[in-house]
Amino acid sequence: MSDSDLATRAPESDAQAADVSPRPAGTTSTAPANPGLGEHCTSDRPAPAGQASTGEITKLNDVDVYISKPADYPHAPARLLLLLTGGTGLHSVNNQIQADRFASEGYLVVMPDLFEGDPAPNSRAAAEIAAESTSGSLLDIFKVKAVEAAKTFLIDMWLARHTEEKVLPILHKVLEGARDEFADAVAHGGGVYAVGYCFGARYVLLLAAERPAAGGEQQGRQGDEEAGRPKADGPHIKAGALAHATLVSRNDFVGLKAPLSMVCVEDDPLFPDEVRIAGEDSMNEHGVEHEVQVYPGVPHGFAVVGEYEDANIKEAQATAFEQMLKWINEH
């Protein structure tokens, strides 16, 4: 097997099971203890033929963002949409085209750099590291094992650099800047909408939730005595849609308030059925408006812009976009 084969392996072949251990309600949300990312979370499919991005990269409240606007904005009103990417990040042409597609439907799209210029490493980077530690005389099977070990190491180190404690403050800065810079779009939509893919999908859940504010107990005693409960933070979005989430635990569904649409992959090890079903049960129990569609016969990551030869995957990709668009349009 060649290095190029490893760099283009199907995303479903790279799945790692996520921990789904519960934690007490009200505690700080954390990612699973044994998180994993698939190849599609870290590598782009070929870009759609003949398409290029049309927005621009700029700064918003000192955070790098990709901005895509409707053609007739600001002469015609738009609603503000936060788009949260997988590990390929801000400079991925596919992610930019994804933002442009929502912009063409009347949304002013803000796509932040969640990773501060440090997108996730992919199989090609792992192959380069493995090549430095193996000789040409070794059998291919040992080289494959070296690449897989290098990839796991790189992903683990990357995830350690981009934790919830690092990413959420970036999102709060972007939301603050967007509410100031694009106040007209926020007002027109009655709030901020959000869509997220892979890594970014989990953060749609977190932004859709109401959770205890920092120092909540003390604030509750001092500033919310009549209610007898701590002050809350969030939800930060009006409605959200997410596709093939990764790194999600059951407890990321705690405190959800904003309506949510979920695009899921059948038998997806990166978003196990146990987590999805527990999330659905929680939303049903707490009256959170939601919809869940499970797509069979597609790989994790299929909803992100990118070319596939399989006509069924192409059709599912278009259907998933329409599902997410319809949800935010109706909310």
**Distance (Å, whole) CA 323 – CA 312:** 16
**Distance (Å, whole) CA 236 – CA 242:** 15
pLDDT at 153: 83
**Distance (Å, whole) CA 243 – CA 217:** 34
**Distance (Å, whole) CA 210 – CA 139:** 54
Look at the block and give the residue holding tokens 């939601």: 290
Say yes or no to pLDDT of 3 above 60: no
pLDDT at 145: 65
Judge whether 241 and 271 are in contact, CB under 8 Å: no
Residue type, 311: A
pLDDT at 139: 52
Residue type, 232: A
Q: How confident is the model at residue 186 (pLDDT cuts 50, 70, 90)?
A: very high
Average model confidence (pLDDT) for the chain? 83
pLDDT digits (tens, 9 = 90+) for 126-165: 444 445 554 554 455 555 566 677 778 888 899 999 999 9
pLDDT digits (tens, 9 = 90+) for 289-321: 999 999 999 999 999 999 999 999 999 999 999
pLDDT digits (tens, 9 = 90+) for 5-47: 333 333 333 333 333 333 333 444 444 444 467 777 788 899 9
Across 287-317, b (16+ Cβ under 10 Å) vs e yields: ebebeeeebeebbbbbbbbbebeeeebeebb
Instruction: Choose the weakest-confidence range: 140-154, 180-194, 246-260.
Output: 140-154
Once rounded to an integer, what is the mean pLDDT over residues 189-197? 98
Once rounded to an integer, what is the mean pLDDT over residues 221-227? 48
**Distance (Å, whole) CA 282 – CA 288:** 8
Once rounded to an integer, what is the mean pLDDT over residues 102-117? 97
pLDDT at 7: 33
Enter the pTM of the model: 0.82
Taken in order of first residue, the domains within the chain and their CATH numbers are: 3-8+43-118+162-329 (3.40.50.1820)
